[in-house]
Structure 1
Amino acid sequence: MSTHVPAHPTWWQRNWKWFVPVLAALFFALLIACIIGFAALIFGILRSTPPYPQAVARAQADPAVIAALGEPVHTGWFVQGKTSTNGASGEAELAIPLIGSRAEGTLYVVAEKRAGEWRYETLAVNVEGGERIVLEDNRPPAVP
């Protein structure tokens, strides 16, 4: 008479019920991390162009913007737009969220770089609620 010894289950047979969900969760977490990293890279590129800090500095120093938004005025995270430079020329179109103590708004920037100098075609803050503040002075402020 022979006794049949049941086969010992493999690692996969013993562990697939927890391994598959853990693997799926890790894949999902990696996908989310890649998306966040890509977004941070894009926002970082937009923030690194000279029109961004120049426009923000001008908006933060403008009395009408301060009166409408409240102090302190700082930027939000989701910068939108596009920018391109090629040596001494370039262009930028940005929508920069601004947050103050009383209200929020969006700083719109349309700039062109000629002969190494940025000129602003549009530099205006749209305050939530409808007010639009046009920033007139075309000289870039000193950026710290």
Structure 2
Amino acid sequence: MSVVPPPLPQRDWAQRNRLWLLPLLAVLCLVVPLAIVGGVFSMIMKDMKSHPAYVEAVTRARNDPQVAAALGRPIETGMFVMGSVSGKDQGHAYLEIPLVGAKAEAKLTVAALNEGKGWEYATMLVRLADGREISLIPTTAPVLGESSGPPGCDRPASDADDSEASGDADDA
């Protein structure tokens, strides 16, 4: 009678493929954290680029004739937006947005605050590579009939100052 040897133990996948296991684990240890960091970075950039202050500033920059003349058309935004935002209905925003045109590049700086009454822009400035700055905040001219001089005065302060100075000269 012959003795049958016991069957050999079955090896699992890791035992059969030891040469592949270590490189596979090394790649996974690198790829998974990079994917997580990339996903978080992508979400932050998407959040910044959808913020009302960003959208308004980029729209104004693209529609401004001075910016278009300096940068050339089309005006695109760069990939990396720097700054911070908080809240879309209330909060603050401070952004530095790279702009790229056919002729040149620039940086759009935006500082805005919303206390529930809409976004108020303290700064919306395009800084060109040559050092020039273009403000995108419209300057408001005084409305006719409004006094820009001292209270109770119907004429501008510069006219009041001129008449007082000439009146003093006549008295002397």
Decide which structure has greater strand share.
Answer: 1
Deviation per CA, 1:79-102: give whole Å up to 9, x if none.
111111385x31110111111011
Quote the residue 2:130 is aligned against.
129
Contact 1:83 1:93 in 2 (8 A): yes
Quote the residue 1:111 is aligned against.
112
**Which of 18, 21, 36 pairs up with 2:20?**
18
Distance 1:21 1:133, change over 3 A: same
Segments ≥4 residues shifted beyond 4 Å:
none
Distance 1:53 1:19, change over 3 A: same
Contact 2:48 2:81 in 1 (8 A): yes
Quote the residue 2:91 is aligned against.
90
Quote the residue 1:74 is aligned against.
76
Quote the residue 2:67 is aligned against.
65
Q: Distance in 2 between matches of 1:131 and 1:22?
A: 53
Structure 2 counterpart of 1:98, one-letter code: L
Task: Please say if 1:45 is aligned against 2:44.
Answer: no
Contact 2:83 2:95 in 1 (8 A): yes
TM-score normalised by the chain length of structure 1: 0.82
Q: Distance in 2 between matches of 1:97 and 1:33?
A: 25
Q: Which structure has the larger Rg? A: 2
**Which of 33, 36, 46 pairs up with 1:34?**
36
TM-score normalised by the chain length of structure 2: 0.69
How much has 1:71 moved relative to structure 2?
A: 0.4
- Secondary structure of the 1:112 match is strand
Larger RCO, structure (CA 8 Å, separation 6 or more): 1
Percentage of matched positions with identical amino acids: 38
Could you list the runs of 5+ residues in structure 1 that have no partner in the other structure?
A: 140-144
Could you list the runs of 5+ residues in structure 2 that have no partner in the other structure?
A: 141-172
Q: Distance in 1 between matches of 2:88 and 2:19?
A: 55
Contact 2:97 2:107 in 1 (8 A): yes
Equivalent residue pairs, number: 137
Q: Distance in 1 between matches of 2:103 and 2:79?
A: 18
Q: Distance in 1 between matches of 2:120 and 2:139?
A: 7
Q: Distance in 2 between matches of 1:18 and 1:115?
A: 59
Distance 1:103 1:86, change over 3 A: closer
Distance 1:10 1:125, change over 3 A: same
Q: Distance in 1 between matches of 2:42 and 2:17?
A: 37
